Structure 1
Amino acid sequence: MGTTQRPLHRRIAALALAGGSLALLGACGTAPTHPALVSAEQNHTLPPLVPMRRFVANVDVVNGHVLSPDGQQLVSVQTVGTDVGLGVRKTADAAEPGGAGTRTFATGTLARPFVSGPTYTWLRNSRHIAYLKDFTGDENTQIFVLDTQSPDAKPWAVTPGAGIRSAYVGAGAPGSASFFFSNNRRDRSSMDLFEADALTRAVREVARSEPGSRVVGWFIDTQRELAGRMRQLGDDDGSDLVLELRQPDGSWRAFRTVQAFDSYWPQRIDRAAGKLWAFTNVGRDKLVLVETDLATGNEKVLAENAEVDLDYGVFPPQQGGPLAYVYEPDRPRIAYLDAALERDVRTAVKQARERGWLDAEPVIARPWSMSEDRQRLVVSAVTENEGTELLWDRGTQQVQRLTPPRPPTNALFSPMEPFSFKASDGLVVHGYLVRPRGVQGPAPLVVDIHGGPWVRDRWRAASYNGTQMLANRGYAVLNVNYRGSTGYGRAFMMAGANETNGRLQRDIAEAVQWAIDRGVADPQRMAVLGASFGGYSVLTQLIQKPHDYRCGVDLVGVANWPRVIENWPPFWRNRHYFAAFYGDVNKPEERARMLKNSPISQIDRITAPLLVIHGGNDVRVLRQDSDDVVAELRKLGRPVEFMTFPDEGHSVRKWRNRLAQSRKIEDALATCLGGRSNGFDFYELMPRQQ
C-alpha cells in the first residue's frame, strides 16, 4: 500500500510518551569494567553511547536513489511506518526526501540478489518498479511489481510459489512495461527464462533449459533479445561452466568454457556491434575488464589493476560499453574510461563541497544511476565519516542533495584503517582496524571474521554499521582478509585451498598478534565473532586456542563439513569447487578426514563462553549444526547460549530480529570483555509489521 506516513522516529516517540516510563527503559545500560575504558570514562573521553536502534533498525532511512529511465522520478529505500519500503518522488522534489510529494510503498525487507543485479529497479515505462523479496530466509527470492501511479493497489506477485528461486534478468523494450526473469519452478537445479508485462500481467516462457543442462544464468542483449546462457557442464556436481551464444536458427554455440576457480561473467552483450564486455580472470591472476569480439572471440583488456581484482563496472543504461570501473586495494577507488562522466562527477562533488553538504573530500564518488538519455545522474559520495547522494543535471550543470543531512558522527565513531602484515610464511595479508574512540592503551578486541571464504572485508565509512557499533561500545575491531579470500587474485585465494583448518586460521591468529604487538589489543580481553565460514573460524579458533580468547559469537557457523556440503540445495552443488578447499565428501577417506577436522568432532576443546545464533530456514548451513554444538557443550557443562530466529535464514535481515541479535551480542561482549552496553532499547517493543 502506498501512503505518505509520519517518520518512524515520531511514531516511536509517541509510543514511548504514551507508555510513560517506556522512554526511561533505554537508559538502563552497563558501565564498562575494562581498565582502559574505565579510565576513559573517568577522563570523559568516551563518546556517547549510540542507541542500538540507530545501527540496525529502520530509522528515517533515505538512500539508494535510482533514476527512472525518463529521468523524471526517483525511487529510494526509506522508512515506511515502522518498516522498510520504497519512496518515489519527482526529480523536481529531489531536495525534499520524505516530503509531501513522496509516495511510499510498504514493501518490507527487500531480498539480496543471489549472484548480481538490483534489489529494486524501474521498468522502462518509468511507471512500474520491480523488487525482490525473500519472506522466510530460505533464499527462494520472489519478484513483485508495484505501480507508482496506483499507490493503493496491491503489488503484483509475479513469481508466487514456495520453494522457487527467481531472479531478475533485465528490462524489456524502450518505454515498455516488460522485463525478463528466470526461475527454477520446473527444475530446481536449472533456470528457465520468462518475459513478463506489468500492464497486462501476462507472463510468457522465452526459453527453457534442456534436461540435464543446468542453466545458471541467461543474458539479454542490448536489443532486448535472448543472446546467451551460462550452463554447467558434467554431472549435478560439476564445476565447469560454458557460456553459449544464441544463433539465428535458435541453436547454441559454445563461446567460453570456464573452469573451477575461473571467473567469467558477461556484463553486456551487443550483438549489433559484435561486442561483449565481461569481467574475467581466465588465464590470469587478477579479475580484469575485457571487451570481446563476438565473431572471433578475441579479447582486449580495457582495465586491470596489479594489486587487486576489479570489483564492478559502470555502464550507461541499456546501450554502450563501460564508462568506469571500481577496485579496492585498501579504500575503494574509481577509474574512468569516459572523460565527460568523470568531469560531471567531479563538478557535482565540487558544488556539494562548496555548499557544505560533504564534511570532507570523498574517499570515493561514483555514478550510482543514470537516466537513459544520460542527462541526469545520481552520484554517491562517501567520505571517511558519511555517505551522501547527489542528483546532477547535465543540462543545468547544477547539483541537488538527495539524502537528508544527519548530525555529524566524527565525535561518535572512529575511522576504518587499512593495514597489512607478512604472515609467518611470507604471504602478505590485508585487513582493517577500527580503534575505540577516546581509549588510550590496549583495548578489548573483537576479531570479526568474514564468511565465505570466497568474499572479503571492505572499507566502510565511520557511520552507522556493525563495526562502529562494536567500537562505540569500547572495543577495537579487527577484520582480516585471510588467504582464501577473494579480491586479491587467484593465487591468494588458492593459497587457502586445503588450509581452512591450517594456514588460513593461522593468518587470523597472526593478525591478532599484530594488533597485540602494536599495543592495540589487550591480550587478556579478546573475543572472536563471525558468521557462516566465519562462524566455523570462531569455533576453530576457540578449539585451537592460538590466543586466550575470552568468548566467542558463532552465527550460522559450520560445525560438520560433510553434512553441510551434502545438504546444500541443488543450485549450490559444485563438488569439484568445494573439494579443492574442504575435501571430497564422495571419497570415504576424505569424508572421514573432513569430519575429524570439523568443530563438532573437537567440541570438547572449547572452554570459553559461546553465544550461538542461527536462522531456522538456513539452506547453506543447516540449523542442525548449531543444535549439535549447543547440545554437546551443554552435556559437557560448558557455558553456551543459543538464540534462533524461525523466520530467518543464513543471515538475519528483518530489523526487529537484527535488533534482538545485536542486543544479545552487546550484552554478551560486555560481560566477557568489560565493554559498555546501552541496555534495553524501547524499539524492542515495536509490533511486527509485514
Structure 2
Amino acid sequence: MLLAFAPLPMLSRPFDLLAELTLFGVLLSMIVGCGDVAPGPAAQAITATPTVHDSLETPQDTADRQATPLIPREVLFGNPDKAQSRLSPDGKWLSYLQPVEGVLNVWVGPADDPAAAKPVTDDRKRGIRGHSWAYNSKHIVYSQDKDGDENWHVYATNVETKQTIDLTPIEGVRGELAGASERFPDTLLVGLNDRDPRYHDLYRVDLKSGDRELLQQNPGVAGFVTDEDLRVRLAVNFTPEAGQVWLEPTAAEPGPEGYDDWQPMAEFTSEDAMTSGPAGFSKDGRTLYYEDSRERDTAGLFAKNLDTGEVSLVAEDARADVGGLLVHPTEHTIQAVAFTYSRIEWKILDEAIRPDIEFLKDFRDGEFQVTGRTLDDTRWTVAYILDDGAIQFFIYTRPASGAATGERSMRFLFKSREDLDDYPLAKMHTPVIAARDGLPLVSYLTLPASVDPEGDGRPDAPVPLVLDVHGGPWSRDGWGYNPTHQWLANRGYAVLSVNYRGSTGFGKNFINASNGEWAGKMHDDLIDAVEWAIDEGIAQRDKVAIMGGSYGGYATLVGLTFTPDVFACGVDIVGPSSLVTLLENVPLYWSQFMPVMKLRVGDWSTDAGREALLERSPLRFVDRIERPLLIGQGANDPRVTQLEADQIVEAMQSRNIPVTYALYPDEGHGFARPENRTSFNAVTEAFLAEHLGGRYEPIGKDFEGSSLHVPAGADGVPGLSAALPAERKQMPQAEEGDDPQE
C-alpha cells in the first residue's frame, strides 16, 4: 500500500497498464490489481524447430494457418532483450533491465556509451521487474518479495561499487517505497508495517547507510501525502461507508512520532471515492493538485490554492478520467495531462512543451511514453508502444528550458526484443461494444493475420475466440503490444479484451454501475461482448473460451458455472472461487480498504450478506460445470489464497467433474519466475488447442527449471502427463525448498 506521494515525471506503462493518477488509484492497484497474473515473460529458450498441432480443421484451414509461421512462446513470452530505460537525474548514467543467466537484473552504463553497461544487481531467481533512480544519481532502487508473498523489501544498489543494501531488512514485514525529493537526494521515504501489521509507519531512510528514522507513526489510515520537503501534509483514509477522507494535522510541527492529531480537510462519498484523490503538491507546497469527480462524471484535475482556498479546473475530458501527467522535473509544474478512452490523448497545459510533444507524436507510429527526464530537462528517455511490434527505446535531446532556439534529436537505444521482427504480428482493433443496458464497453480485438487480410477487424469467416478478462476488477485493458493477444492470434484465435463495468478510467458512473454486480451485470457485459463477436461474424459460437487472472479468474469460474453453455472451456489463474472465503482471508494491511470491499463486493459479516455472496460464488454451483477447466495457482498468494483453488478442485473431484490443476509452490498472485510462466503458458496452449482446435507448440523442454505440480487432471492436457515426473503429479510437500531443481 502506498504510504506517501511524490510528484512523478509521468505515470507511464512501457510494460504495464497505465496507472491511475491518484493516491487512491495507486492504492487500488497495489491492493486488488493483478497486472502480473496473465501468462508473461519466460526465459526458457526453444532449441528445436516448433512443430504445429492442428485439430478440427479442414485441409484448407490447415494450409492457410500453416502458411503463417508459428511464433515460438520464447519469442512472445521470453525475457525481453532489454527493458525500462532510465537516465540518472544528472544524465551521467543509463540504466535498463536485461537478463543475466536468464534472470532480469539492472544494468548501468555511461549514457553516452550504453554498450559499456554492466549488471549492478545480482538477483538469481525471481528477476527484478521494476527499478528507478535515486535523486543522488548514485543508487538504483527496486523492490523484491520472497516467492510471491508480497512482503516486499526495498533495496538500494550503489551503481559504482555494486553494493546492495536492504533498506527494510525485517522478515515477514511489508516494506514499500513511499517518496523521494531532489532536495534530499540521499533520502527515501519508506513504509513499514513492523509495529502493527495493519498499518504502515513512515520512515526516512538514508540510502548510504540504511539507517532509518521514524517520520510518522500511522494512526490508522491508508496512506500519507508528502511534499517536496518530505513533510507529511495529508493523511488519506476510507470511511466506514466506503467514502474517502483527507485529514490534515492540527499542529504546526510534528512530535517525535509525527503528528498525533488530525482534522478533516475534505470528504468524498462512496459515489466519488474511487475517482477522486490527492495527486501531490506544487514546488512551494502551497498548491494541492487532486483528481475530483464530484458534480461531474469523469474525474478532472483540479488545483487548490491553500492560502486563499481558490479552486481551479486544470484539465478534463468528457469520456475519460485523468490518466497520467507530464510534470517538470524540478519546477513540478504540470505541463500536460493524458486521458485514455480507447487510446491515449494528451492535453497540453504548458505551451513551452508543445513542440516536444508534437515532435514525439510525429517521430514514430504508436504511442510514446516519457519514462524519465534529467533534472536539467535537456534529455528524456522515451518508449514507443506499438500494437504489432517490439517496444522501441530512445534518448530524446531537447533545448534547455527557457532556450529560445535549439535542435531536437532522437538517439535509438534498443528494442525490447529484436527477434519479434522475424515474425508477422497482428494489429489490435478498438471496438466499443454496447452492453444490453447501453453502457459503452471499450474493448480490444486482435485477429489472426491470415483471416483478416484487409486489416479491418473482421475475418473472412468466423474463427474460435478467446475472451481474455482483465483482473482488478478496478483496473483496465489498454491498447498496445500485448503478448497474450499476439500468441493466441498466431495460434488461430480471435482475442477479445473488454473493459466491463467497474473498469477504471471511464468515469464514476461506469465504476459505480458494478457495485454488487460480481457475477451479475459485470458478467452480463462479458456475455454481451461474446454475442457481439458472434453477431459480427468474428467468433464461432461453439468455440469460445474464457480466461483471465484474479478477477479474470473469478470471471472464468462464473462463466463455467453461471453460463455453462456459452464457453467451450476456461482458464482460471489465481481466481477466487468463493467470495466469502476470499473476503475472510485478506492480508491484514488491507484492513483500511475493507469498507470499499463491503460496499462494492458484499458484506461477509452478516448472515444475509454471506448468503448473498455465496449466491455469487462459483463454488456453490460446481454441479453446473460442463466444460473443461484449467486452474493455475501460486501457493503463497496473499490476496487469493491457495484455499480458493483447492476447494473448487476438491469439489469438482468429489463429483467426478474433470479439472486440471497447476500449482506452483514458489509463486504468489501470478507467476513471476520465468520458468514458471513459460511452463504454464505451455500447458495453457495445449489445453486451448485441445478444446478450440487451434495450433500449439509442443511442451518440449518448457517445464525445465519450473516448480510446476499438477495434483489433478494431468491427463486432461495433451503432452502434460508424459512431460511431468510422477512426483510432480501430487501436491507439493511443505518441506520443499526454494530451489525448484532440488
- Normalising by structure 1, what TM-score? 0.87
Q: Give the structure 2 partner of residue 33 of structure 1.
A: 55
Q: Give the structure 2 partner of residue 139 of structure 1.
A: 150
User: Residues of 2 paired with 1:410 and 1:494: CA distance?
Assistant: 45
The Cα of 1:560 is off from its aligned counterpart by 0.9
Match of residue 256, structure 1, among 256, 266, 275:
266
Change (3 A) 1:138 1:310: same
Matches within 5 A, 1:148-547: 148-151=159-162, 153=163, 155-174=164-183, 176-209=185-218, 213-233=219-239, 240-244=244-248, 247-250=251-254, 251=259, 252-261=262-271, 262=273, 263-270=275-282, 272=284, 274-347=286-359, 353=363, 361-386=364-389, 387-395=391-399, 397-404=408-415, 406-407=418-419, 409=421, 412-439=424-451, 440-461=460-481, 465-545=483-563, 547=565
Change (3 A) 1:475 1:43: closer
User: Residues of 2 paired with 1:292 and 1:689: CA distance?
Assistant: 54
User: Residues of 2 paired with 1:283 and 1:654: CA distance?
Assistant: 46
Q: Give the structure 1 partner of residue 37 of structure 2.
A: none
Aligned pair count? 641
SS at 2:547 equivalent: strand
User: Residues of 1 paired with 2:290 and 2:250: CA distance?
Assistant: 17
- The one-letter amino acid paired with 2:157 is L
User: Residues of 2 paired with 1:186 and 1:223: CA distance?
Assistant: 25
SS at 2:296 equivalent: coil
Unaligned runs of 5+ in 2: 1-41, 400-406, 452-459, 707-738
For residues 516-550 of structure 1, give each alpha carbon's deviation from its aligned partner in whole angstroms, at most 9, with x where no partner exists. 11111111111111111211111111112264421
The Cα of 1:173 is off from its aligned counterpart by 4.9
SS at 2:680 equivalent: helix
For residues 380-433 of structure 1, give each alpha carbon's deviation from its aligned partner in whole angstroms, at most 9, with x where no partner exists. 222342321211122463321122473564952211111122222222222111
Matched-pair identity in %: 28
User: Residues of 2 paired with 1:220 and 1:158: CA distance?
Assistant: 20
Contact 1:393-1:399 within 8 A present in 2 as well: yes
User: Residues of 2 paired with 1:515 and 1:301: CA distance?
Assistant: 40
For residues 216-261 of structure 1, give each alpha carbon's deviation from its aligned partner in whole angstroms, at most 9, with x where no partner exists. 2223312333333323455xx9654324257523354432224335
- The one-letter amino acid paired with 1:100 is A
Matches within 5 A, 1:598-613: 598-613=617-632
Contact 2:277-2:290 within 8 A present in 1 as well: yes
For residues 575-617 of structure 1, give each alpha carbon's deviation from its aligned partner in whole angstroms, at most 9, with x where no partner exists. 4322333321122112112113311111000011110111111
Change (3 A) 1:689 1:588: closer
For residues 26-82 of structure 1, give each alpha carbon's deviation from its aligned partner in whole angstroms, at most 9, with x where no partner exists. 63x44222437x53431466421111122222142x121122111111211222221
Contact 1:80-1:104 within 8 A present in 2 as well: no
SS at 2:75 equivalent: helix
User: Residues of 2 paired with 1:624 and 1:184: CA distance?
Assistant: 25
Change (3 A) 1:132 1:282: farther
- The one-letter amino acid paired with 1:495 is A
Contact 2:52-2:70 within 8 A present in 1 as well: no
Matches within 5 A, 1:569-588: 569-573=587-591, 574-588=593-607
User: Residues of 1 paired with 2:562 and 2:608: CA distance?
Assistant: 23
Contact 1:32-1:674 within 8 A present in 2 as well: yes
Contact 1:554-1:613 within 8 A present in 2 as well: yes
Change (3 A) 1:253 1:374: farther
The Cα of 1:362 is off from its aligned counterpart by 2.3
Unaligned runs of 5+ in 1: 1-11, 17-21, 113-118, 354-360
User: Residues of 2 paired with 1:175 and 1:427: CA distance?
Assistant: 48
User: Residues of 1 paired with 2:331 and 2:198: CA distance?
Assistant: 32
Change (3 A) 1:206 1:582: closer
Of 658-667 and 437-446, more deviation after overlay is shown by 437-446
SS at 2:660 equivalent: strand
Q: Give the structure 1 partner of residue 77 of structure 2.
A: 56
Contact 1:233-1:242 within 8 A present in 2 as well: no
For residues 295-319 of structure 1, give each alpha carbon's deviation from its aligned partner in whole angstroms, at most 9, with x where no partner exists. 3443211111101112121212253
- The one-letter amino acid paired with 1:181 is V
Matches within 5 A, 1:592-631: 592-631=611-650
Contact 2:71-2:423 within 8 A present in 1 as well: no
Q: Give the structure 2 partner of residue 674 of structure 1.
A: 693
User: Residues of 1 paired with 2:338 and 2:325: CA distance?
Assistant: 6
- The one-letter amino acid paired with 2:371 is W
**1:90 aligns to 2:99 (yes or no):** no
The Cα of 1:686 is off from its aligned counterpart by 5.0
The Cα of 1:478 is off from its aligned counterpart by 1.1
Of 196-205 and 441-450, more deviation after overlay is shown by 196-205
**1:641 aligns to 2:660 (yes or no):** yes
User: Residues of 2 paired with 1:604 and 1:598: CA distance?
Assistant: 13
The Cα of 1:214 is off from its aligned counterpart by 1.5
SS at 2:571 equivalent: strand
- The one-letter amino acid paired with 2:165 is W
- The one-letter amino acid paired with 1:506 is D
User: Residues of 1 paired with 2:177 and 2:395: CA distance?
Assistant: 26
User: Residues of 2 paired with 1:594 and 1:253: CA distance?
Assistant: 36
- The one-letter amino acid paired with 1:605 is R
Q: Give the structure 2 partner of residue 74 of structure 1.
A: 94
User: Residues of 2 paired with 1:224 and 1:502: CA distance?
Assistant: 45
User: Residues of 1 paired with 2:618 and 2:468: CA distance?
Assistant: 19
The Cα of 1:684 is off from its aligned counterpart by 4.1
CA RMSD after TM alignment: 2.6
Change (3 A) 1:297 1:623: farther
User: Residues of 1 paired with 2:394 and 2:266: CA distance?
Assistant: 40
Contact 1:315-1:321 within 8 A present in 2 as well: yes
Change (3 A) 1:377 1:122: same
- Normalising by structure 2, what TM-score? 0.81
The Cα of 1:363 is off from its aligned counterpart by 2.8
Contact 2:564-2:625 within 8 A present in 1 as well: no
User: Residues of 2 paired with 1:226 and 1:318: CA distance?
Assistant: 20
User: Residues of 1 paired with 2:141 and 2:338: CA distance?
Assistant: 26
Contact 2:107-2:117 within 8 A present in 1 as well: no
SS at 1:366 equivalent: strand
User: Residues of 2 paired with 1:453 and 1:101: CA distance?
Assistant: 40
User: Residues of 1 paired with 2:228 and 2:78: CA distance?
Assistant: 39
- The one-letter amino acid paired with 2:398 is R
- The one-letter amino acid paired with 2:76 is F
For residues 60-114 of structure 1, give each alpha carbon's deviation from its aligned partner in whole angstroms, at most 9, with x where no partner exists. 2x12112211111121122222110111121111xx4xx23444423354677xx
For residues 98-157 of structure 1, give each alpha carbon's deviation from its aligned partner in whole angstroms, at most 9, with x where no partner exists. x23444423354677xxxxxx422112111111111222122211001010113x3x111
Change (3 A) 1:368 1:220: same
Change (3 A) 1:340 1:40: farther
Contact 1:584-1:590 within 8 A present in 2 as well: yes
